[in-house]
Amino acid sequence: MKKSKFSKMIAGTMSWGAWGRNFNATEMQCLIEKCVEFGVTSFDHADIYGGYSTEFAFGAAFSKTSIVRSEVQFISKCGIQLMCPNRPNKIKHYDCSKAYIIASAEASLKHLKTDYLDALLIHRPSPLMHPYEIMEAIQQLKKDGKISSFGVSNFTPSQVDLISSEVAIDINQIEFSAVQHQALFNGSLDQMLKHKITPMAWAPLGALFSSEVSAQKNRIIEQLDVLAQNYDATPDQLLLAWILKHPSGTHPVIGTTHLKRIEASAAAVSIPLIIEDWFKILEASQGYKVP
């Protein structure tokens, strides 16, 4: 397995700005500094977050810190065109054209106040995307030193194969948790392990602790409550340890903005979840024993 340059836990910034907590510059600066202090040095962005405003807010806050840019990693995603006051779009759609990818990357650089992105991902697959055109955009951005790595987000194995026919894919960011574990069986994680593609998992807790109740969630919570005593860990730490157990080397993208939960999440990398307990959580999620 190749060594990843990203921190094991990645801070997801979607709710930092207008789409969530709407932190001011001082609050965002503090959160950035605390993340780094806890060992969470990678920050996951997308141009659309906050209606195309969160990257700008983050960049302004980061510029006020004393953190050396080379000690952190900035990830951004592009390709989704939203309908919002900041865009003249008449319908939500996807744009994976060469011109749009380059323009989006350059806008992210400007907003984040940085010379390069550690990774640029295509946020969603488009029915109109062409691998050669994407390759041309990524090749140009790499040649100009504006991105270090390229990846995709929410791509199926066949879509990964399509794009990788022209350009190497370093990352695939997918939904993956004990609640939403299709990636274990649909070939996604198998493909990433085989081709040394770094998996990143958004929604790694699977909204398990949301107000929405289901039999599946109840089973998982009951099992986690039992295991939590054995590991002296919280249920959410065990959910992260469950993801980390997979040999693909998945990086959970944690969306919390609460400092204690970020610190606890970072500590989950040290939980030695044994195989039998990993399968107990899987069985609780599925509602039946493995074949």
**Nearest by Cα to 133 from 165, 172, 81, 96:** 96
Q: State the angle between helix axes of 215-231 and 275-286 in degrees (0 to 180), rounded to the nearest 10.
A: 160
> Which residues 6+ apart lie within 8 Å of 150 measured at CB?
119, 120, 121, 138, 142, 167, 168, 169, 170, 171
Distance CA 222, CA 220 (A): 5
N-terminal to C-terminal alpha carbon distance within the chain: 28
The reply to whether 49 belongs to the active site is yes
Residue 117 pairs with which residues in a beta bridge?
A: 147
**Nearest by Cα to 79 from 148, 139, 133, 41:** 133
Which one of the listed residues 49, 94, 116, 288 is annotated catalytic? 49
Catalytic positions, written as ranges:
49
